[in-house]
A and B are shown apart, each in its own frame.
Chain A
Amino acid sequence: MALSSETVVRVLMSHRNRLSAYIWSIVGDAHMAEDVFQEVSMLAIRKGCEVADSDRLVVWLRRTARLKSLEACRKQRRSPLIDDSLLAEYDADWQRYDPLEEAELREALHACLDGLTENNRRIVALRYGQGLKSSEVANSLQRTVAAVYRAIGRIHRALADCMDRKLGREQDLERS
């Protein structure tokens, strides 16, 4: 049975951040990723009803996002980071997040942000809150870009450890 338009939008909205993150991870450029996301959203609204059920729609969305991301890379004459041969495994890595609600992810992230030091929170606020490039964060804080990458990398690592704990995925990660 085909999906209703309402279901398509609900699934799209409930996976929007993961879908955007997936596209961003392939194209490596925030602006390009936003364009691709728009394209995928429009396609979903036009054609998503043809998919049999919600679970398959999630898979369809990711596959469409992958195709559109690769297409965007080709147009920009840019090699995608993820090799074609790895895409199936790569998709499986993303599928691990499918059962989670985005609200769960967000709650875990917010809770983990509270555990950061004031300085680290400030860096996150500059980079992601204000959308500054790392070079601009570096200018603002009078540090080198490499130092900012190092700091943000460390923050991501701390947040990843914390989120895994919050989401109870430590063991899951070890097992997989």
Chain B
Amino acid sequence: MSEDPFQPDANRGSGAELYELATAYLDGAITASDERALAELLRSDAQARRKFVGVCIQAQLLSASGVPPGASNVGGERGQAPPSPLLGSPFNVTHGLFSDYARFSILVAALTMGSLLTLLGAWAAPTFQRAVRNETVDADRLHSVFVAQLVRTSNCRWPENQLPPLIGQQLSGGTEIRFLEGIVEIHFRSGAKVMVEGPAELTLVSAGEVRLDRGRLTAEVSDEAVGFAVKTPSARVVDLGTQFSVYAEPSGDVEVHVYDGKVSVAPSPPGRNRPVVLQRGQTARIADGRMTVGDTTKASDWDADSAREPEFARWHAFSGSLGRDKDVVAYYTFERSFPGEAHLANQSVAGTSFDGATHKTQWSKGRWPEKDSLRFEDEAARVSIDIPDPLDAVTLAAWVRLDAIGPRPQSLLHSDGHTWNRVGAVHWFVDQRGRLCIAFGNVAGEHVDVRTGEDQALVTAGTWRHLATTVDVASGEVAFYIDGALICAKTVKSSEPLRIGTAQLGNASVADRRFLVGSMDELAVFRRALSSREIDGIFKIGVPKDEPETTQEHD
């Protein structure tokens, strides 16, 4: 082939025509006359038809090649060829509409809808083994149906002979779960939501009961799930409409704390104590068959550490509710399930957005030691995301720590392509002077660029900052926040709905070096402009009191 790819053919021939027409057709931009010509070629020439099939397969494989390794493996395909030098280049991330990664997400979505629950269980069988200890679990109560769903894991370490579980995995009655450290969140079909902190060993007995042999379990029980029970070696805790935690110590002793509502606690086996009903703020400790009841407000009664609700746990609980918020279209908490994970889980249940695919980023400690963040150092580092929902209003909010301000703009989120030639495309970034900025494509050819003023608070480097920007398309109001405080509000010409679409976190698809140098930890996209009070609330619940030192871990 010629070195100049654009050089006209001296002798094109019908073969060249077929390939050009096929290219235009797959581009979705073929003219009516060219489409007729292509149709005629395919009708009249069997060889052309076969070549066309080949082009389609090539185009599909090329579009799908930016595969996060974890996703394709989980999908069941092994022995995939290593990527070619081209496919590993900075240009090539998972942008293709037909990426394997996207398809994997689709499949997982299908699986989690309950169509292939058995299969899913089989895939993850090494992780969650069926309980066989009939002496400890009442076999009559083991349901063969699925009783709960694994919603998330955070910083979990699993026994060496087990694979990490799949988020979204359906769990049947009798499933036994063991992990060495981290947090697992499970939603029961009864409506009870539990978060378990490791090291932990538990068995799902039914949709309304869990056996906790070891670990700390926090439950949030909705009205319809009243009666949800946690069975431990020395007590049975039955919810009466509440939030509570149960700590099953390795010694067999158990502590129960009630945060809201009330629970019934019955020693097991029944001994000298009758069941008691604990109210909000009360605690019970069952040790050596004896139960004592106390009050969490009296620190002397209990270990102060266990009674204190850590700020991370508070954020984590809030984060769970954010993921379920119907106005959240994409929510990346930057928590991974295993060390080399190459995708960024989208925790939003309301939106249609996909998980993100990481490229040349590094997992690093987040703003708390208990959680992760992604570090962007390489010029090509990025996370490819896809937020297809059209948005009449939007709030973008993220925790970011930049290493430095300038010498060039640093992208936080950038829709693929240029904002000036795609209506609704969004570019959210920090410019070279530290101003928080947003640009979006307005009606064709117009490019709206809004920035905070230089005399206003600027984004500073070296510390975690919470950055947020709201846009209301109808009114044209744009507001910028740093660390929960409103920095400035401006009004711009109203626009078409915003369409983030396929986009990059920490980089831009346009070739003008807008890569971020620093770390990102949590990013949420809302389908409405949050109030200043809401943004301040998000900041306050997410701000770390003591920022940890950055400890990098390479994938």
Contact = CB atoms under 8 A, between A and B. Distances in A.
Given A120-B1, A121-B86, A153-B19, A129 B42 contact: no
B15 A123 contact: no
A30 B26 CA distance: 7
B6 A150 contact: yes
A151 B58 contact: no
A30 B97 contact: yes
A159 B58 contact: yes
Contacts of A117: 1, 3, 5
B19 to A, nearest CB: 4
A43 to B, nearest CB: 10
Contacts of A106: 61, 65, 80-81
B51 interface: yes
Interface in B52-85: 52-66, 75-77, 79-85
A59 interface: no
A41 B108 CA distance: 11
Contacts of A17: 57, 60-61, 64, 98, 100
A147 to B, nearest CB: 4
A13 B84 contact: no
Contacts of B545: none
Nearest to A111: B84
B57 A105 contact: yes
B56 A24 contact: yes
A6 to B, nearest CB: 5
22 contacts: A13-B107, A17-B61, A20-B98, A21-B57, A28-B25, A38-B106, A46-B115, A113-B84, A114-B85, A114-B86, A120-B1, A120-B5, A129-B89, A129-B95, A129-B96, A131-B63, A140-B511, A147-B6, A148-B6, A152-B20, A154-B1, A160-B19
B552 interface: no
A110 B345 CA distance: 28
Interface stretch (B116-124, B220-228, B449-457, B475-483): B116-124
B122 A6 contact: yes
Interface string B85-111: 111010111011110101100110011
Contacts of A123: 5
A103 B80 contact: yes
A93 B95 CA distance: 28
Contacts of A33: 97-98
Contacts of A38: 106
B50 interface: yes
A164 B382 CA distance: 35
B86 A125 contact: yes
A149 B3 contact: no
Interface string B2-29: 0111101100000110011111111111
Given A9-B119, A157-B19, A125 B92 contact: yes
